[in-house]
Amino acid sequence: MRYLLSTGCIGVAALLAVSSANANDQLQKMSQNPKDWVMPAGNYANTRYSELKQITAANVGKLQVAWTFSTGVLRGHEGAPLVIGDVMYVHGPFPNPVYALDLNHDGKILWKYEPRQDPNVIPVMCCDTVNRGLAYSDGKIFLNQADTTLVALDAKTGKVVWQVKNGDPKKGETGTSAPLVVKDKVLVGISGGEFGVQCRMTAYDVKDGKLAWKAYSEGPDSELLVDPQKTTSLGKPIGKDSSLKTWQGDQWKIGGGCTWGWTSYDPQLDLVYYGSGNPSTWNPKQRPGDNKWSMTIFARNPDTGMAKWVYQMTPHDEWDFDGVNEMILADVNVGGKTHKALVHFDRNGFGYTLDRETGELLVAQKYDPKVNWATKVDMDKNSKTYGRPQVVAQYSTEHNGEDHNTKGVCPAALGSKDEQPAAYSPETKLFYVPTNHVCMDYEPFRVSYTAGQPYVGATLSMYPPPGESNMGNFIAWDASTGKIVWSNPEQFSVWSGALATAGGLVFYGTLEGYLKAVDAKTGKELYKFKTPSGIIGNVMTYEHGGKQYVAILSGVGGWAGIGLAAGLTDPHAGLGAVGGYAALKDYTSLGGQLTVFALPGS
């Protein structure tokens, strides 16, 4: 590793001197300053909303490129930079470089950190070598490396303060998620569901990296960090061995349920929220039962890791509908009552609104009309199937206990939305959702487990819904009623994260490489600019020197762009994505660039 040292970070010197005792109080205050972007989602609520309004619907058409920066790495660029005072922190995919850029001097490099990682980690990264971003607290920048090393860097110098190994790539465990700092702990998830990892959320001490707690997604109660009588699901205690009873034998030990998505936090309720992914293997016949608690929303105490409530969205998953997508915290009026709500757009195609204090299910509706694998989610509290999706037998991938080549399942395994995060505007009270409009054929087959080897057990083909050509939509969603307010079709899946602003705008990126701005109320397109490569990063905004900027990482890749990123041509490769997105090569190519926009003039 090498460092480029500079004293140019003086703009954040006061913040970096904050002691760890009150670091989180300071971090919470910092997140309320719209001039900065101090967390992966901008704030704990994961709203990706900014109060900045210098750029408006009236003037956004005048946006120009202010400056650019190359990360020096190809493959998929997910996540977004952080901005703290006068310094921007930019990350990249494997080998996970981190740059500190001086905003006072046109993005001059203050320091660079580049870990030396074993390239053998690359083959065990399921869907490209992506990284979803950095975290900040207590004068440190936190990076979750591909090889699962969690690193705390001195924000002024880039020097390593501490590091800890969070997993073992030889078992298929990798790191792709963005950490989140809550109080005196940094929370980090794990990837590896396609390699039979027993997945978990882990908390480390911000000051020295000491392990605080580890909560698995499946297994004994002691490993789940649940109380059989106090932890609830849909208002009822989950009971003893709630997970073990839903797995055959010891299958839970290689059961997946990974935690590579986003984490949110409610300081008033003192609860963190995140989702778990698919059960392993993708062949449902090999793991009979509900496979709890994969595909589940967890609400946990950040100090102890104990779960207050859980809700499983897709019991006995047969389609790889990971539940890791972000939990957006907002006040939502449902049926005349305002709830402290959690809104979640699941891979399975249903948009969920839950009471985030109790876990009560309030709304569950399809946010893509083509979703066909289930008719609805049972909302009858007196029903034995309350809260469960009502599966259409035709689209089950297991018929009469046998593997079945199922055709025409909507959505495809990458879901109606994958990790690309939605945004929420408290002004319009709408949620802005980048979506995939894709269906699939799914053929499971028997697979044996070997540590560190793929443990998938299914072959997929992906394509647009019958009779349609667009593979994505960007929608506005009313979480109080579960209805689409407006929808903009896109040629390919919208694989970038959204940003909503007080200027009445919503920004997002496209796989061809366009940054777009639309009217938050109507969805009317007001601006677009084609960046050098396809966009799978998340739009962010900040203010510096009295001027508002909008920034986006471009660099095609991720699951949808894995064919381009890894040079794959077999249409079934990339877990079916290579064939589905074959036309993407006609519109963009590899890259790794940060593009920063602003209005002209001083």
| Partners of 434 in the β-ladder | 474
Amino acid residing at 257? G
CB-CB contact of 218 with 292 (8 Å) = yes
Helices and strands counted in the chain (H then E): 5, 42
Q: Is 139 exposed, middle or buried (0-12, 13-18, 19+ CB in 10 A)?
A: buried
Q: ω before 293 within 30° of 0 (cis)?
A: yes
The region of weakest confidence among 451-455, 465-469, 572-576 is 572-576
What are φ and ψ of residue 193, in 5° steps? -60, -25
Instruction: Tell me the pLDDT tens digit for each residue of 299-310.
Output: 999 999 999 999
Report which secondary-structure segment, H or E, holds 13: helix 13-16
Residue count (the chain):
602
CB-CB contact of 536 with 545 (8 Å) = no
Instruction: Tell me the pLDDT tens digit for each residue of 423-441.
Output: 999 999 999 999 999 999 9
Q: How far is Cα 126 from Cα 176, in angstroms, rounded to an integer?
A: 10
Q: Is the pLDDT of residue 471 over 90?
A: yes
CB-CB contact of 348 with 315 (8 Å) = no
Instruction: Tell me the pLDDT tens digit for each residue of 118-162.
Output: 999 999 998 899 999 999 999 999 999 999 999 999 999 999 999
How many Cβ atoms from other residues are within 10 Å of residue 334's Cβ? 18
How does strand 49-50 pair with strand 499-501?
A: parallel
What's the whole-number mean pLDDT along residues 190-204?
97
pLDDT at 13: 43
Where do the DSSP E strands lie in 17-129? 49-50, 64-70, 82-84, 87-91, 98-102, 108-113
pLDDT at 602: 59
Question: Which of 102, 183, 115, 106 is CA-nearest to residue 144?
Answer: 115
Instruction: Tell me the pLDDT tens digit for each residue of 4-52.
Output: 333 334 344 444 444 444 566 889 999 999 999 999 999 999 999 999 9
Long-range Cβ pairs for the range 447-450 (8 Å, 24+): 447/281, 447/283, 447/286, 449/196, 449/254, 449/281
Q: How far is Cα 140 from Cα 161, in angstroms, rounded to an integer?
A: 8
pLDDT at 23: 60
Q: Give the tokens for residue 42.
A: 């901008």
Q: Which of 147, 320, 346, 478 is catalytic?
A: 320
Question: Which of 134, 214, 219, 218 is CA-nearest to residue 175?
Answer: 134
Following DSSP, what letter does each residue of 407-456 receive, concatenated? EEESS-TT-SS-S---EEETTTTEEEEEEE--EEEEEE------TTS---
Q: Is the pLDDT of residue 443 over 80?
A: yes
What's the whole-number mean pLDDT along residues 222-242?
98
Architecture of the domain defined by 8-598: 8 Propeller (2.140)
Q: Is the dihedral of CA 597, 510, 38, 4 positive or negative?
A: negative
Q: Give the tokens for residue 510.
A: 């496209």
Kindly list the distances between the CA atom of residue 386 and the CA atoms of 139, 233, 362, in Å, as whole numbers in the listed order.
47, 11, 12
Tell me, rounded to whole angstroms, the distance of Cα 106 from its chain centroid.
30
Instruction: Indicate the pLDDT class of residue 56, thresholds 50, 70 and 90.
Output: very high
What's the whole-number mean pLDDT along residues 554-560?
94
The strand order across the sheet containing 200-205 reads 180-182, 185-188, 200-205, 211-216
CB-CB contact of 130 with 144 (8 Å) = no
CB-CB contact of 498 with 423 (8 Å) = yes
Instruction: Tell me the pLDDT tens digit for each residue of 516-528.
Output: 999 999 999 999 9
Percent of residues, the chain, with pLDDT higher than 90: 92
Instruction: Indicate the pLDDT class of residue 400, thresholds 50, 70 and 90.
Output: confident
Question: Which of 49, 47, 33 is CA-nearest to residue 341?
Answer: 47
Q: How far is Cα 390 from Cα 395, in angstroms, rounded to an integer?
A: 11
Instruction: Tell me the pLDDT tens digit for each residue of 289-335.
Output: 999 999 999 999 999 999 999 999 999 999 999 999 999 999 999 99
Any alpha helices (H) in 201-322, and if so which ranges? 221-224
Q: How far is Cα 531 from Cα 514, in angstroms, rounded to an integer?
A: 6
pLDDT at 11: 44
In whole numbers, what is the pLDDT of the chain averaged over residues?
Answer: 94
pLDDT at 55: 98
25 catalytic per annotation: no
Please give the angle made by the CA atoms of 229, 233 and 235, to the nearest 5 degrees: 80
Please give the angle made by the CA atoms of 526, 528 and 531, to the nearest 5 degrees: 165
pLDDT at 2: 33
pLDDT at 18: 45
The region of weakest confidence among 131-140, 167-176, 314-323, 395-404 is 395-404
CB-CB contact of 419 with 331 (8 Å) = no
Any alpha helices (H) in 2-108, and if so which ranges? 13-16, 23-31
How many Cβ atoms from other residues are within 10 Å of residue 556's Cβ? 33
pLDDT at 26: 86
